Every structure is written in C-alpha cells, then in structure tokens.
Amino acid sequence: MSTLTIASIQTSLNWLDKEANLAIFDGIIADIDHVVDLILLPETFATGFAINLDCAEPENGKVLNWMIATANSTNAVIAGSVLVQQGDKKANRFYWVWPDGEVKFYDKRHLFCLGKEGNFVKAGEQREVFTLNGFRILPQVCYDLRFPVFQRNRNDYDVMVNVANWPAARRKVWDTLLMARAMENVCYVIGLNRVGEDGNGVAHNGGTAVYDFKGDTLAQAKDNESSVLITTLDKEPLETFKQSFPAHLDADEFSLEC
C-alpha cells in the first residue's frame, strides 16, 4: 500500500519581497534531509497576504517558474498559493507543480468578506482533486476551512491540504476545524500556517499540524517558530478504517454548484 511523505514549511514571510521569500525557501528546502514526495508552502508565500496591493504575478510569472525549477531539482511536488493577475482582480491560486514541469491549480473559492477579499480577489469556481503516490488530495486555502459542504468527502479524496495565513486571534478555530474535517470526512488533514506579523500588523502563530482520519494528531509544529514538519502518511490504515467504519455509505446525496 502507498505512502506519502510531506514537508510542510512553517515560516514568517517578508512583506511584498518576492526575492527575499524565494531565497528563504531555497535555503530551507536545501536543508531538508529527508526524501519527500510533497513540499508545502504557505498561502501567498511569495508576498504575504497583500491582496489589495500591486503584487500579483502574471499567469506564467517568476514565482511559478521558481516552483517549476524547485520541483525539478528536488524531485518532489511543490505546492502553495500565489496571487495571480486575473483581469482587474487576482486569483489566490494554489499551484500544484510536478517534478516534470506539469502544473495544475486550484483557485481559492471562499473569500473573506470581513477583510474585503472579494474586492480584490476573484473567487475560484472549480473544486480540484490531485493524485500523488496513489493518494487523492483535496487542496484548500485558508478561509475555505470554514465551509464543510464544499469540502465534503464524496469518497473522492484521501487527504485534505489547507495552506493558510490564519491569524493568531482565531487560532482556536483553526485547530478545531482541522480536526473536525479529518473526523467528518474520514481522511488525513494537513494544515500549514505561517508565523510572524504581516505588513498589516496581523499576527500569526502557526498551528501547522497533521491529523489522521480519527482526528488524532500525528505531528504538530511548535508555535511561533519557523520549522519544517516532516510527516509520512500510510494509505493502508485509512483503507482499513474505512472498511470497518464505512460512514461514507450513509452520507446524504447532494450536488454542489459553484
């Protein structure tokens, strides 16, 4: 049965400084001494969550090219979100880049109205599932975590990944919902958050963690510290649990219109 090894990079970000951020990630990735299949980067890892400022990439911009080169050099999938220009707005785009240069993406669906995200960001319209090492992976971005209908497992994914700039002020919600999503969807959940204060004075204290399909914590990064959380997921325990407790067979039928 398949395994999947993930490196989740929890770090602070330099506000609007793409060169500095990419250099930081170059150094961190170079120091990873495990063979990994997937390297996860935080939401808006190249700029910080600067949605109202002129910092978006073109569709095939420098940051994506860096991801392509890094995936190739590490022989691992590189994934994280980037602000990408879409007409007069941006997409908060979760790029998924394979070592051979293939690129797929998911655009963040749920936009934070309290922060007026919708004034500057175009909402995604398509739910995506990517496959790696036999694991079906649902990508999500930050605020998506609050919307369980969109994330409902229709027996079409094994791992949910959420990359975020989740504020320290709402940290309890982050911890609780990651665990809840794992239990209700009978899946592994990986939550990756940043640390440090952003250019708007918003503090982030981490909470990067991996939960199994019963909601048990498999690994968790220390708060307020930059670190790389290495975790290996095993498909067999998940499949065994689903066979012994097939809750998905009792799920309500529904369709989702985006």
pLDDT tens profile 53-63 = 999 999 999 99
- A 10 A CB-CB count for 123 gives 15
**Catalytic choice (43, 55, 57, 122):** 43
Tokens of 186: 């009978």
- State pLDDT tens for residues 95-110: 999 999 999 999 999 9
- State pLDDT tens for residues 113-152: 988 999 999 999 999 999 999 999 999 999 999 999 999 9
Q: Is 102 a catalytic residue?
A: no
DSSP characters over 30-52:
HT--S--SEEE--TTTTT-S-TT
**Catalytic choice (18, 117, 142, 187):** 142
Domain spanning 3-250, CATH class: alpha beta
Are the C-beta atoms of 44 and 93 separated by less than 8 Å? no
Q: Is 55 a catalytic residue?
A: no
**Catalytic choice (18, 108, 117, 122):** 108
Q: Is 187 a catalytic residue?
A: no
User: Cα(61)–Cα(24) distance, rounded to whole angstroms?
Assistant: 19
Output the pTM of the full model.
Answer: 0.97
Q: Indicate whether 196 pLDDT > 80.
A: yes
Every domain of the chain and the residues it spans: 3-250
- Identity of the amino acid at 238: L
Instruction: Identify which of 48, 82, 19, 46 has the alpha carbon closest to the alpha carbon of residue 198.
Output: 48
When pLDDT is averaged across residues 78-98 and rounded to a whole number, the result is 98
pLDDT score at 258: 59
